[in-house]
Chain A
């Protein structure tokens, strides 16, 4: 089964999944599906990490896949979905500077720019269409697209999802560019979880009146204690 062509095809399909999900994150107005799509994107990353682990026989990639699965597919999306229910916002229809169509076009342009820049910077020059080079390009593009979401949306909770999508890009880039020590990957995820907890709790404050917020906050402190202690 360890056929390079099969592996190649599989990973390319997963790349397409990642790009489609990030395009969806850029354009959608529906917040509920936004979280689901983010979970889907993380799941594709898990699949990529698993197939890489299978191809390279690297146990560390398995560990990274597991970590991503637990935190980015289950814990964080579940948490954000719960918060969304509490603040009762369903749609984020405000775009700061960019309309969905133009942001799609810009992200296309960004990908091309990243492709050209990376092929110049990386030495020795990568083979054309090499999977690892592709992975790095898509990783960086995902970072850029996530940044666009963070800065072009108005609702803080959408910004959070943009940030998460950036983080996924870094993970993808890291998977293909090099092998970081597992402890570093682990600490980053912990950092991410704390950051997301804080920002979503603050988000509740932005989107509601203040007295209301304090009542809700007391409910959420319980949440925070549970999540941060392990």
Chain B
């Protein structure tokens, strides 16, 4: 699939923002006044930037409000609703902390739960697609939520639990990569079933329907990036898991190291998310003899 920068920014930044909101929401002794202001400015900044980035992907962003109508059947519509509700609930909770110093624990927990469900809904936009076997798997929602929870833990300064989460996230990502590599061949969809000609013999694409490129090839048959996939996986893994783990868990805590660790985690997450799109094979590629 085409790794659109708008979608990488949308999923990564909104996940991180909602992850941070969730950690602030369940904090028994949350920050108040100015400290709370800066934490929530970061959380809302990340989530807001991500959600705004998603509208850049639209052909007609001026009609974006219509995307709230089909929540009964569409995960994209549900994600839109949940994101707005998560921002509203956490916004009220944050406003009470920032302006009055009041901690309404129940509201915080509610906000954290909705933030979590929002990230789950984001992941299901991709996880629901049977046409992309690598995504159509339980590892997709697990990974999106794990990235959000881990990134949120690091940003909110939960160093000890963050270290454990980094290990879990790293293991989950390695497992998802290995499993993802077998998903297309395991899906049962091949050139033979796509064309129905497999009963006659071996099918080979002889000539495509167009001499140039088209929307389908550009959007769904992105094969350029795959040759360096293994190297990019190692770079991503090093940046989002290994470097932050060393800086947080092995070395003594300092704010400078923590900042470097978080930036490294963000960079690694962006590369991992880029791979999430670039490596995913859409079954329509089979009509072109590609994967």
Q: Do the two chains bind? A: no
